[in-house]
Every structure is written in C-alpha cells, then in structure tokens.
Amino acid sequence: MKIKLHLAYDGSPFGGWQKQKGGKPTIQGKLEEALERIFKQKISTLGYRRRSSCLSTNCSL
C-alpha cells in the first residue's frame, strides 16, 4: 500500500527527519511508530524535505 502525506511541523524538539540510533527522537521515527500502531504492521517511510525562509519544514511522503 502506498499513501501520500503532506506534513507541517515544528521540528525543534526533534533530531531531524531521518531515523537515527540514540539521541533525540526523529520525525521519521515518530511517524513510523504512529502508523505502525494504526495499521498494526511494520511501516517504512521515504521522504524529502524543503526548508522555507522561516525555517519551518514541509515534507511529502
């Protein structure tokens, strides 16, 4: 199954988009955890990001 999401978020409490071991939680990690709870199966995401002039991040999956 493929889904397309457009996300806008305050990334300041996160350690970036891409999942990483240790350190701060990431947007990708938290998103996959939430989707796995909803769909009750392993979820993998791919994404790209673009920073606007005000440094908010917009992502499409």
Lowest mean pLDDT, pick from 21-30, 33-42, 43-52: 43-52
CA dihedral 7, 37, 1, 27 (to 10 degrees): 30
Question: Residue 40: what pLDDT?
Answer: 96
Number of helices (H), then strands (E), in the chain: 1, 3
What pTM was estimated for this model as a whole?
0.70
Residue 52 has pLDDT above 80, yes or no: no
Mean pLDDT along residues 37-61: 71
Length of the chain: 61
